Amino acid sequence: MPVHIENLKGVAFLAYPETLAFLKAELKQRFGLGDNARFNCYGDIVCLEDIEGIFSSPDPEKIAPQELPYWARTTLLKPFILHFDSIGEAAGALKGIQRNWAPYQYQSFRRASLIQDKLPYINLKPRKFPVEIPQSPIGVYTLIDDKTILASAVTSSFIPAGRIEFVEDHENPPSRAYLKIQESLTMARLLFGAELPGPESRCFEAGACPGGWTWVLVNLGSKVYAVDRAELAPSLMADPLVTFQAHDAFTLKPEDIGKCDWVFSDVICYPERLLEWIKVWLDSGLTKNMICTIKMQGEIDYEVVKQFAAIPDSRVVHLNYNKHELTWIHCER
């Protein structure tokens, strides 16, 4: 049988690892899809055929990024089914559509690897921070059986298959939370063109203990005003770039801290309290850049999350290194 392409209706969402249940729940709770909604699932991919009335535009390519599900690492905006007989046919058909393709695989791993080997090279390895993501179109494909591919050349992310991994440092950071700030700063750069904190930057971190985020910032050369009830790791307490204050960070006023290039929070608190604290900082005019983790208490309240997303010059995202939480990124251009 010759190579055959069948265009599909709607869009398809690729969930982050182990978050498929969150994605399905979001589609029901945030987007109001009932139990009768037609979902076709392939591994962590959820295909949604009928998108009329769900998004502001019936054209998938015109859907605003902030309208897409937070728990989808990328959205396949123009999905199609590719039928083929040989590995060469599959790779040739994909290359005939565009250059860059990233795999997502949940089965037929060997066959998928052989197809990927025949496609133009893209970097699928863990990255060393800091990294800049090229803003080049990149498609996603997956084998749903040995002779059938589900794919889309048009996706919502410039990151291969929507998921970034970093080369991990298992010795120096005081906690694995450092990976979250590395990813969120990478996203701030990608989404807003923001400059990373550097030697000329002054940063404020609320709830800094044990210091995973502070560790990243001082390694970028930034001065950090770190506040928590408990002290940071000894190496950070002795670092000349770190000023530490033992206090409840949320009870300090922005005027107590002073002007900051960046404000960070990975504090465990109710989203409503975080939102109130963020607004105080933004109203103060003492910072233009903020990154905060929205910690979830039980079931996600998407009405509250909507208030974070509505703040100008900001985006709510789910990071690869988030767990049951979202991240709010604000960068004034």
Q: Measured over all CA atoms, what is the biggest interatomic distance in the chain, rounded to whole angstroms?
A: 71
- What pLDDT is attached to residue 1? 59
DSSP for 256-284, please give it.
Answer: HH---SEEEE-----HHHHHHHHHHHHHH
User: Against a cut of 0.85, is the pTM above it?
Assistant: yes
- What pLDDT is attached to residue 35? 67
pLDDT band of residue 56 (cuts 50, 70, 90) is confident
| Residues whose CB is less than 8 angstroms from the CB of residue 247 and which lie 6 or more positions away in sequence, other chains included | 227, 228, 229
pLDDT at 298 over 90: no
Name the one residue in this structure whose structure tokens are 């133009």: 120
Whether the CB-CB separation of 174 and 212 falls below 8 Å is answered with yes
3-class SS of residue 107: coil
Could you report the per-residue pLDDT of 24-33, keeping only the tens digit for each? Answer: 999 999 998 8
Confirm or reject CATH 3.30.1780.10 for domain 178-331, answering yes or no: no
pLDDT at 55 over 90: no
Tokens of 69: 């599900």
Proportion of the chain above pLDDT 90, given as a percent: 90
Domain locations in the chain as residue ranges = 4-162, 178-331
Residue 156 DSSP label: S
Could you report the per-residue pLDDT of 81-125, keeping only the tens digit for each? Answer: 999 999 999 999 999 999 999 999 999 999 999 999 999 999 999
Q: How many CB atoms neighbour CB 225 within 10 A? A: 22
pLDDT at 285 over 90: yes
